[in-house]
Amino acid sequence: MTQKDKQIKTLLDIEVENRNKNHEISYDKPDPLLVARRYTDEFVILLCALFAYGNAKLIVKFLDSLDFSLLEKSDEIIDKELNNHYYRFQNAQDIKTVFKTFKRLKNEDSLNSIFVNAYKKENNILEGIDALIQKIHNTANHKSQGFTFLISSPFKRDKQGLIKENGNAPYKRWNMFLRWMVRDDNLDLGLWSGINKKDLILPLDTHTFKVSQKLGLLDRQSYDLKSALLITEKLREFDEFDPIKYDFSLYRIGQEKIL
């Protein structure tokens, strides 16, 4: 490890230590995890992750407005209760559809087992994510721009059927959901089993992207899956067993404009 890398690792290790505290997530320091951590239901937590785009305060405000017990109610009640709900790219129909879809899935299988079945073949996180995305779309049978944005499209693949590193988005919200579910500390929930945290991928957003460039963890300009994988690889040099423990610190450094 170069001298510069050692310095970056020391800086980040201190940040991780200081930020791995319950009070780091609050209404003063909003994060969708503020709402997600009130629940142990994987479907509720995934909803919190999928709606986590845009301004953190507004995300938390929207999540607070949702009645997650609707996942146990009839389609008619879901329609009635969510009739006036919308969020950025999602209209009421999109939100009603995702609740009904998750309710159906809940009665069929667990998200954890769908994920692990695909992941375990090659310990490939992306295959697990893709299996969940496809399952949700197949169950929903609903096409709209807002719904597709919320759930994400399945990964683009090459002629051999392998997921492309170039030309795919970073799938930030899905990788963040996995960080929450797989890692277990004062921030993350650690509710899932069967997945090794060393395989996790950085949930790359604009903050972590810019901070990673400034710190020299990434010398690439494209905001895509390839960049997320390259930064993750670099972070494995700092901690091969838990590279994504640095994610929250990188995010907050960017959000709080510390650099």
**64 close to 84: Cβ distance less than 8 angstroms:** no
**133 close to 98: Cβ distance less than 8 angstroms:** no
**Chain-centre distance for alpha carbon 125:** 12
* CA-closest candidate to residue 32, choices 146, 227, 172: 172
Sign of the alpha-carbon torsion through 214, 220, 222, 226: negative
Q: Give per-10-residue mean pLDDT for the chain (259 aa).
A: 93 95 93 97 98 95 97 96 93 97 96 98 96 97 94 97 96 98 97 98 95 95 97 97 97 87
Q: What is the pLDDT at residue 201?
A: 98
CA gap 75, 63 in Å, rounded: 20
Q: What is the pLDDT at residue 97?
A: 97
Q: What is the pLDDT at residue 13?
A: 96
**35 close to 64: Cβ distance less than 8 angstroms:** yes
DSSP, collapsed to helix, strand or coil, labels residue 141 as coil
Torsion of CA 239, 171, 125, 158, to 10 degrees: -120
Q: What is the pLDDT at residue 1?
A: 87
What is the token pair recorded at 150? 């919320």
99-136 pLDDT per residue, tens: 999 999 999 999 999 999 999 999 999 999 999 999 99
Q: What is the DSSP letter of 224?
A: S
CA gap 111, 109 in Å, rounded: 7
**64 close to 44: Cβ distance less than 8 angstroms:** no
Residues 6+ apart with CB under 8 A from 242: 183, 197, 198
